[in-house]
Homo-oligomer: A and B are copies of this chain.
Amino acid sequence: MLETIDLGVTIAPEEFKELKDDLRARLNKAQIEAWQAGLGVIVVLEGWDYSGKASVTRFLVEPLDPRGVVVNVMYPPSREERRYPFAHRYATRIPARKQLGVFLRSWYYHALDARIEQERDDITNRVVLQMINDLERSLADDGYLIVKFWLHIDRKEQKRRRKEYRGNKLLRRWRTGPDDPKQHKRWKAYTAAIEDMLATTNTECARWHPIPATDVRYAQAMIARTLCEQIENALAARQRPQPAIPAVPPPTTSGTGILAGVDLSATITEKEYERRLEAVETELTELQYECVERKRAVVFALEGWDAAGKGGIIRRLTMPLDPRFYAVHPIAAPRGEEAEHHYLWRFWKQLPPAGHWAIFDRTWYGRVLVERVEGFAKPHEWQRAYREINTFEDALLQHGAIVLKYFLHLSDDEQLRRFQAREEVPYKQFKITPEDWRNREKRAAYVPAIEEMIQRTSPPLAPWLVVPANDKLVARLTVLEDAVAKIRQALER
């Protein structure tokens, strides 16, 4: 992709002057129209050191309404940032829909640098690039326009600029990082890696635009024009009648029988429960410290019918834990900023750093449960969510996190009994709301959604466990003992 670039192209000063005002007006108009249409725009500016990324950023941003623009300057990840999965610092910085977010350096810089400097093996590189493609695809599916630029110069030009910067106080100011000779020294290795990276990630939903940048003004004009075109095209595409989304067969109310096949009859004596609870709690204490020491994160995903006892399980799970190293995240419907981002955004923000545990009381699976059943997500939205969620959890697993998922299953009768009991006990009344009763009526619609979720999001390293929850003691032990076994197993790998 880079070889064919003509690095000799320039733009005459007079021509640039004439173009400039047009481009500025066009950028401004495109941004305001994107804002009004709710089109989120992600601009990725990558390129060689000294290729002029900062000056292009300035040229692009200057004519825009600054209230709708966020510029993210990505330095190499700090020690704190390295405690999270690779994509964490990027996914949490994605602009809200309507906004235009510029990444001055991005996930690509990080991927490239790690590849060359850490001499990662090919498979890991493939995986990282695949993760990037997945992330971009899920953003594009969510309606974002992604426009990626590679600013290209040759080795001689880089050398010339480095020298020029060194000798000039004003130019040196522009550099926010130190003058790092590594690219220059390993030009060939970088070129090969860049070529491969651009080719692998030049997807239909997020195209690369290689830009010859020997002449800075030429690069500025080309990038501004390309960005305008991309925004205009995306807006025009929204105006055109959309191809019909293939109809989805209406969900059956019978399901696959996974839930019906769960034996809910098991019970346990109080004495046996106490004995095993004590044993498992001792193990949890021990395992938590082992995770701290070995910097392994654990993510608990708890889903289940209303009144299935999630709260009680979380209580028993956290009791033996050191509160310095875990957090519980109760999940309700997305609000404010959350609703203006991709539905996974808020979960990226709540991920535990390496060594910590995070317990989610309801989760990202809301997308394929409540949002599907209530129609908050359209069929094609929740249908693609299975893949998006698997990708999201893959990113956690890749980083060494242990992912544990439990669905608490309860019979219809037992749920009714618990609802009624809650209404009778004054201090439990706050736990039951009219919404719980409404949800209850939709049980038949939830069954196939739950079963499809279990089938489609149970990869070998992060399978669902369906927990029989008619007996609270059985449910608690099942979750805690399974968690202990899986964490221990993961630590031994």
**Interface residue ranges, A against B (CB under 8 Å):** 32, 36, 54, 57-58, 61-62, 65-67, 69-71, 73, 78, 80, 102, 104, 173-174, 176, 289, 292-293, 311, 314-315, 318-319, 322-324, 327-328, 330, 335-338, 359, 361, 427, 430
Contact = CB atoms under 8 A, between A and B. Distances in A.
A65 B311 CA distance: 8
Which applies to chain A's interface (DSSP): helix, strand, loop or mixed? Answer: helix
A359 B324 contact: no
The list of the 4 closest CB pairs from A to B, nearest first, reads A336-B336, A335-B336, A66-B328, A61-B323
Contacts of A330: 67
A317 to B, nearest CB: 8
B66 A359 contact: yes
A323 B68 CA distance: 13
Contact of A71 (B54, B323, B335): B323
Contact of A80 (B80, B174, B338): B80
B67 A328 contact: yes
Nearest to A71: B323
Contacts of A73: 324
A75 B61 CA distance: 38
A315 B65 contact: yes
Given A80-B80, A336-B338, A66 B324 contact: no
Given A311-B65, A361-B67, A289 B335 contact: no
Contacts of A80: 78, 80
Contacts of A338: 336
27 contacts: A32-B427, A36-B430, A54-B324, A58-B322, A61-B318, A62-B318, A65-B315, A66-B314, A66-B315, A66-B328, A67-B311, A67-B314, A67-B328, A70-B327, A71-B323, A71-B324, A73-B324, A102-B323, A104-B324, A173-B292, A173-B293, A174-B322, A176-B324, A335-B337, A336-B337, A336-B338, A337-B337
A60 to B, nearest CB: 8
A303 to B, nearest CB: 15
A104 B337 CA distance: 29
A179 to B, nearest CB: 16
A416 B232 CA distance: 34
Contacts of A36: 430
Contacts of A430: 36
A293 B359 CA distance: 43
Contact of A57 (B62, B65, B104, B323): B323
A78 B80 CA distance: 9
